[in-house]
Every structure is written in structure tokens, then in C-alpha cells.
Structure 1
Amino acid sequence: MAAEDITITGLSHHDPEALLSAIGVAPGGSLIGFDAVRSKRILENLDWIESAQVQRLFPNQLDIAVAERQPFAIWQRGQSYYVIDKTGVAMSGFPVGKMVRLPLITGEGANVAAAELFNHLEATPDLLLQVKAAARVGDRRWTLYLDSGVTVMLPEKDWEQAIALVDDLNREQRLLSKGIKSVDLRVPGRVVASVAENKADDANVKKAAVKRN
């Protein structure tokens, strides 16, 4: 009994050959001894598959349906890089070099906390478009790195409101377009903006504090 009719659905990032190879099946190959339950378990143990259904219809038909984990971000941990999904699962089946459009996150715990961060950033699309990378500091808070070179240090608590405040200040006062080097929101109730050295009147970095209304 050969595998003459194989149907695979749900693949968008991987080749069917990789999936079939994992369960030891080849088109036209023998299905004698094939175990659908075991094959399902094998597929769901692959880090790039979230769920799988495997059904053999006698004598020679095999139906496989999978749900792939979707690439969400690139997580840098030490000197290693991983493509992760929204739940933080690292997926070896995705080559990092082909995922250059994904945001870069760094730090311990960043893979688990990133989805919540970017969900809130979606409410400030102008700011989101500028975010090049995000670093998880001490697994307690975030620092954002913008395309312009500006660093935004978010507080440990109420960071959602801090994101909204930066977005408001940027829209109303063009905060991020004034030669700013960094924006520090770690102290509750204050925004401290450091001016880039080449924008200052002297060699020292000037600092200005903007109090919340």
C-alpha cells in the first residue's frame, strides 16, 4: 500500500517535503505500519508547527492539516538570534536571515513580553513605524530604539501610558525631530529629553525636563 494520494494543507512558510520527511513518508512510498497518532505527535513536536491533524484513508490516501506558528519577531539572546512567534516560542525552522522585516528584541524575557509591548504600540502607529528594536531590561521594563537613533526608556510600571505620552508629545511638539538623543520616562510623572551632542551649544549634553500636565 503506497502513498499515492497525499493532501497537505496549512503550509505557508515551509515545504511539504520537510513535513513528510519528519514523519518518514515519501510520495509513492509504503504506508505499511503508518501510525497517524504517532505522526501527529511528531509534527506537533516540531517547533514551527502549532497543531496538526493526520488522517489515513485506506488504502492509499493521507490527509495532513497543520497550523504553522507565525513569525513575529527576531529575539537576540546573547550572541544567538531566533525567530519567535507571538507566544515567545523560538522556531529553528525559520532562517533569521530571511526575516529582516521583523522587529528585533533583546534581553531575557523579551520573547515572552514582546507581544504585549507591540500590541500597545499598534495604538500609536506613527511611533510603531519608527521602532527598530526593543530591549528588555532586567525582565522588568523596555527600552525602544528608533530608526532615527533616538532611545526611549520606558518605566517599569504604567509603560502603556508612557508610550501614549511620547506619541502625543511627538505629534504636538515634534519631540523626536529636535535632535533628541534619548527620552527617559523611568521617573513617574516626568519626561527627560537629552539633546544629541552635535545639537548642543557646547560639548556637554543638554537636558530638558517636560512635566506631564
Structure 2
Amino acid sequence: MTETGTSLPAADADPADAPRRHPNRWKAVLVTLLVLGALGAVTWVLLGSRLLVVRHVEVTGSALAPRDRIVAAAGVDLGTPMARLATGAVRERVERLREVESAEVERDWPGTVRIVVRERVPVAVVERGGRYHQVDRNGVVVADGESRPAGLPTLTVASPGPSDKASLAALAVLSGLPEQVRGRLSEVAATGPGAVTLHMRGGQMVVWGADERAYEKIRLLEALWRTAEGRAVRTVDVSSPDVLKTK
């Protein structure tokens, strides 16, 4: 007589596990939908809604360039989503203004764009064509007008400009002078990068030479001008600080 055995159910085929797997799967689906919904809402607020758009443009640091010119050059349209604002492009447009040396563009949430400019500083005046052009230490014209601005020495060179070596040498010497010397200066002239001459308000002329060893040259001048004899000298040559020449 043949015995027929009965098979036992597999140990891992517990029917009670099936109901537990379905809630976990639906929970994962629900979390995914919630995350996608939140991302969609954030994207809409940043890029599609009217909640976070440019409403104001502020300008700080400007003195030479009028605020309206800076805002116009920036080209920021009100109503543009703040997140889409290309701050780098705005900065480049502002820096094209002749008065501006550098600029920074900041987002001030929720709706303000702040433009912080660093303007060029005029250090000398060039007279040309009946107008007075104020130039900075790099020879860039930052302003011009029909009247001569007070307090700035005249720059006298053959071809004034940011690419002229004589201009750059004269302006480098001028920018390196201490305030007490620069305040007595009426004109800085140069026939070449190694031939800079300073003309003082009292009529004295200083043959400076090249833009080098400035500290030694300044010390020689200050020591000379502290004496009555030195103040009476009309021409001082400090082009070679090792040998002081006077006339």
C-alpha cells in the first residue's frame, strides 16, 4: 500500500505578509507625490508667480554717475522673477559706464535688486577742445565740462589716454604722492614714461624722472622744503635720488 504524503507550505509564504506590503508601497507613492507637489509649488513661486519679482532697484555708491543712468544701463525690468535675474550680465552693463570702475549686483528678497558701484576717482584734468576732462589714475575720462574743476592738477602729455605710456607714468607718480605734496601740485607733465616733471603752485619745478624710488624722492623733497634755502630753490632734480640737483 502506497502512502501518499502531504506537502507542507513553504516557510516564507506567510499569507500575513502580503497585506503589509501594500500599505508600504502606497505610502512611498504618497511621499513621492507630496515631494513633487512641493517642488512644483516652489518652482511656481520662484519663476511663475508674481510673489517674488523685481519691484525696486536700489543704487548705492554713486556720486559722479546719476542714479537714473545707472538704472538705465543695468536694464533690469520690473516684474522679472528674482530667480531669473542674470546678475552677472547686469554687472557687466553697469561697468560699461565710464564713471564706474566696478559694480556688484545683489538680490535683496523678496523684490529688491541692489546695485553697489565703486566709481573711478578723478585725479587730474586734461584740457582739450575747450573742455576740461577729468581722468582717473588709469587715464580714463570720468567726467568733462566747460569749467575747470577745482583741486585737480593739470595733466600735460602729448596723447593723453589709458594706453599712453607717458600718461600712465605721470598718473602713477601723481597717485603715489603724499597728500601734503599733492596739495601743492598744479601740473604733472611727461614727455615719456621716464621723464615726468612736477610743477608746484609756488612756481617750483621738480624733475622727477621715472616712476621708481618714489619714497626716496619724496623724502628728499620734504627735507629740502623744510629749509628756507630749499623753499627758495626754483628747480629740483630728484630723478636720481643718489644725487640731488638744485637750481
- Asked if Structure 1 and Structure 2 have the same fold, meaning a TM-score greater than 0.5 normalized by the shorter chain, the answer is yes
Q: Tell which deviates more after alignment, 134-143 or 156-165.
A: 156-165
Once the two structures are superposed, the pairs formed by residues 129-208 of structure 1 within 5 Å of their partners are 129-156=183-210, 158=213, 160-177=215-232, 180-186=233-239, 189-193=243-247
Q: 1:155–1:162: 8 Å Cα contact kept in structure 2?
A: no
Q: Compare CA radii of gyration and give the structure with the larger one.
A: 2
Distance 2:189 2:73 in 1: 35
Distance 1:137 1:120 in 2: 19
- C-alpha spacing 1:122/1:5, structure 2 compared with 1 (3 Å): same
TM-score normalised by structure 1 residue count: 0.66
Q: What is the CA RMSD across the aligned residues, in angstroms?
A: 3.5
Q: Look up the match of 2:160.
A: none
Q: Tell which deviates more after alignment, 75-84 or 127-136.
A: 75-84
Q: Look up the match of 1:9.
A: 60
User: 1:142: Cα distance to partner?
Assistant: 1.6
User: Are 2:158 and 1:103 aligned?
Assistant: no
Q: 2:73–2:94: 8 Å Cα contact kept in structure 1?
A: yes
Distance 2:126 2:118 in 1: 22
User: 1:144: Cα distance to partner?
Assistant: 0.9
Q: Look up the match of 1:74.
A: 125
- C-alpha spacing 1:161/1:152, structure 2 compared with 1 (3 Å): same
Once the two structures are superposed, the pairs formed by residues 53-132 of structure 1 within 5 Å of their partners are 53-55=104-106, 60-75=111-126, 82-86=133-137, 88-92=138-142, 94-95=143-144, 97=147, 99-107=149-157, 108-114=164-170, 116-118=172-174, 120-122=176-178, 125=180, 127-132=181-186
Q: Look up the match of 2:88.
A: 37
Letter in 2 for 1:46: L
Structure 2's unaligned 5+ residue stretches are 1-49, 158-163
Distance 1:65 1:181 in 2: 46
Q: 1:131–1:146: 8 Å Cα contact kept in structure 2?
A: yes
1:38 partner SS: helix
Q: Look up the match of 2:100.
A: 49
Identical columns (%)? 23
Letter in 1 for 2:223: D
Q: 1:74–1:82: 8 Å Cα contact kept in structure 2?
A: yes
Which protein is richer in strand relative to its size? Answer: 1
- C-alpha spacing 1:181/1:23, structure 2 compared with 1 (3 Å): same
Distance 1:8 1:159 in 2: 38
TM-score normalised by structure 2 residue count: 0.58
User: 1:58: Cα distance to partner?
Assistant: 7.3
Which protein is richer in helix relative to its size? Answer: 2
